[in-house]
Chain A
Amino acid sequence: MIMDKLNVTLTAVKNLRSNVRQCFEHLADGTDGEGVEESRNKFVHEFQEKYNNINSQLREVEQLINGLQVPPTAYHLGNTTYLAQETSQDRQALYPQLVNSYKWIDKVHDHSFLAFNNLNQNTLRRSYNYCSQKRQRLPFSSFNNDPDHIEKLLSEINYPTHTTYKVFRPFGSNAVAIVTIANVLKAAIVFKGVLIEWVTVKGFDEQLDHDDLWAESRYEVFRKVQEHTHSAMLHFYSPTLPDLAVKSYMTWLNSHYKLFLEPCKRCGKFIANGLPPTRRDLRTLEPFHEECRNC
């Protein structure tokens, strides 16, 4: 009931305000300036009418305001009550949080500075070499070979009969080779020129999507094999003899066709931690568990 009255009053105030505004707008517009008696009369008449309107509405508003009562309890205003609440620093406990985030940002800054310095000196940067002056004068051309070269190179490799490969070029001239090794695994090898940039390993029954070469396998064993292929990729990397690097890498990769068939050379078991021997020795191609490799 009280709320209704309040609403009616508010509406009345709103009406009053809009009428006053209209009245002043009317005044500001004025007459069309021709000085015709008739239009001047009309103008004055209209102004009087509006002015009377304002008067009557003002009275109405006064009446309504008089009719209002002081509410017995405070209104429940929902979340808006918080708007006007006084905020004091002590009550909000903002200070410790601020200190923490300041420290955190400081740390991030420090770390990123160190990382930046380290990365600048990184010798594993393979495709471009900024550090050596000598190299810059004699840039190795292994990453901008002609597109047919990689196909020729791959066809020269003597694959065992159980391995098949397919080359396609989704990224312009750079090739991607999908290698299927027996019914065991599929690997997508992304080349940049003749250098191997990335390898994704997946199970034989998994899809190796051409649009998504970076998704990991859903099987733990192939995720582990992929880790090893990456370390082998760095091991076999040779900018001076890129063709040989690719050939020896492919030979190493092919040794995975007995991934589930061979026990670990060191412990003689098939399974360790739920995984077969995923690591192939880089020279002898012998299988090892990841844990057995260093012991």
Chain B
Amino acid sequence: MGVTVLQPYPLPDGKSGAHIIDLLGKRLLSLGATHAGQFLVDCETFISTPQHGAPTRAVHVLHNSEYPASTFSMIDNGTGKQVSLVADNIFDLLMLKMTATFTSKKQTKIESRGARFEYGDFVIKLGSVTMMEHFKGILIEIEYRPCVMLSYCWEMIREMLQGFLGINVAKEYPSYFTTQTIINAMGQQQVHPKQNDIYEPMDTVKQYLEHFTNYRKHVQMHTAMGGTGGGGVGGPVVMGMQPSSVGGAGMGRA
């Protein structure tokens, strides 16, 4: 279990996603990395049917091909508190049984898939994010497997990312790690520097959810500006649970 960092790759104008992925893949191969299969991370969101007096809750169900026997889920009750759960794959069937309480929002099913590379102890995944078969962007996942804490190896990961992406990566830790809050013994929320915690698979999944939510929101803002009034029922809910979402720091509540 190593530390994983997600890095969205900005698409230059006039270039297609497939072209960029191809280019990055070639760069990695010439660096000495080896191609090691494919990967897939998908996310489906279920929304609770509205009841009188109770706020709408969302359940995000994610799968990660790196942990093929597990289903990750997060309940978001809209008040800023998240409950996360790792379960066996059979959890998916359980969700299907709960259609009375939770309905799936098929139009927001989002996934990131692509090639997986290994370079020394690094695992690099070039993911293209698609929602409903529409290409949304490029999300690079980089994992350094021997290390268990971000603060130990962030500079290494940063150097690696800058090296093959050719873009400048900020010196600060990624926002997911710095903006985590915990409830302390006095019941108050407190900023907790997560870079000094032992990394867990759930952290990878939470980072994916954070980025996926950003991609979804981006689309909804787009459609809203286009005057079609899209977004439907889902729009306010997704926006509602992300009040301070500027800069991708939205899901930062554990």
Interface residues of A (CB under 8 A from B): 182-184, 203-205, 217, 219-222, 259-261, 263, 269-271, 273-276
> Given A219-B121, A221-B121, A271–B1 Cβ distance below 8 Å?
no
For B198, list chain A residues within 8 Å (CB): 183
SS class, residues of chain A in contact with chain B: loop
For window 19-62 of B, CB contacts with A under 8 Å fall at 32-33
For A261, list chain B residues within 8 Å (CB): 152-153, 155
Stretch at the interface among B69-77, B140-148, B170-178, B229-237: B140-148
* Shortest 5 CB-CB contacts between residues of A and residues of B: A274-B120, A219-B146, A260-B153, A270-B156, A260-B152
Beta-carbon contacts of B151-182 to A below 8 Å, as 1s and 0s?
01101100110010000000000000000000
Contact A274 B119 (CB under 8 A): yes
**Which residue on chain B has the smallest CB distance to residue A263?**
B155
> Given A205-B1, A220-B120, A260–B147 Cβ distance below 8 Å?
yes
Contact B121 A274 (CB under 8 A): yes
Contact B148 A275 (CB under 8 A): no
Min CB distance B94 to A, Å, is 30
Residue from the list A222, A271, A273 in contact with B156, Cβ < 8 A: A271
Min CB distance B169 to A, Å, is 13
Min CB distance A290 to B, Å, is 12
**Which residue on chain A has the smallest CB distance to residue B153?**
A260
State A260–B155 Cα separation when bound (angstroms): 8
- Interface status of B9 (Cβ within 8 A of chain A): no
Count A-B pairs with CB separation below 8 Å. Answer: 56
Min CB distance B151 to A, Å, is 8
For A269, list chain B residues within 8 Å (CB): 159
For A217, list chain B residues within 8 Å (CB): 146
Chain B: number of interface residues, binned into ranges = 20 to 34
**Which residue on chain A has the smallest CB distance to residue B160?**
A271
Min CB distance A90 to B, Å, is 48
Contact B121 A205 (CB under 8 A): no
Min CB distance A253 to B, Å, is 17
For A271, list chain B residues within 8 Å (CB): 120, 156, 159-160, 163
20 A-B Cβ contacts within 8 A? A182-B152, A184-B147, A203-B146, A205-B148, A219-B121, A259-B152, A260-B146, A260-B152, A269-B159, A270-B155, A270-B156, A270-B159, A271-B120, A271-B156, A271-B163, A273-B32, A274-B121, A274-B122, A275-B120, A275-B121
State A205–B200 Cα separation when bound (angstroms): 11
State A204–B146 Cα separation when bound (angstroms): 8
**Which residue on chain A has the smallest CB distance to residue B149?**
A183
Contact A219 B145 (CB under 8 A): yes
State A255–B156 Cα separation when bound (angstroms): 18
For B145, list chain A residues within 8 Å (CB): 219
Min CB distance A15 to B, Å, is 65
State A183–B120 Cα separation when bound (angstroms): 20
Min CB distance B90 to A, Å, is 27
State A220–B153 Cα separation when bound (angstroms): 15
Residue from the list B120, B147, B148, B149 in contact with A273, Cβ < 8 A: B120
Residue from the list B32, B148, B152, B155 in contact with A274, Cβ < 8 A: B32
State A261–B147 Cα separation when bound (angstroms): 11
State A261–B198 Cα separation when bound (angstroms): 16
**Additional 12 contacts, C-beta under 8 A, given A183-B198, A271-B120, A274-B121:** A183-B148, A205-B1, A205-B148, A221-B146, A222-B146, A260-B153, A270-B159, A271-B160, A273-B32, A274-B32, A275-B120, A276-B156
For A182, list chain B residues within 8 Å (CB): 152
For B120, list chain A residues within 8 Å (CB): 220-221, 271, 273-275
State A61–B129 Cα separation when bound (angstroms): 85
Min CB distance B209 to A, Å, is 24
Min CB distance B124 to A, Å, is 11
For A276, list chain B residues within 8 Å (CB): 153, 156
State A263–B156 Cα separation when bound (angstroms): 8
For A183, list chain B residues within 8 Å (CB): 148-149, 152, 198
**Which residue on chain B has the smallest CB distance to residue A262?**
B155
State A260–B156 Cα separation when bound (angstroms): 7
Beta-carbon contacts of B119-139 to A below 8 Å, as 1s and 0s?
111100000000000000000
State A184–B151 Cα separation when bound (angstroms): 11
Min CB distance B166 to A, Å, is 15
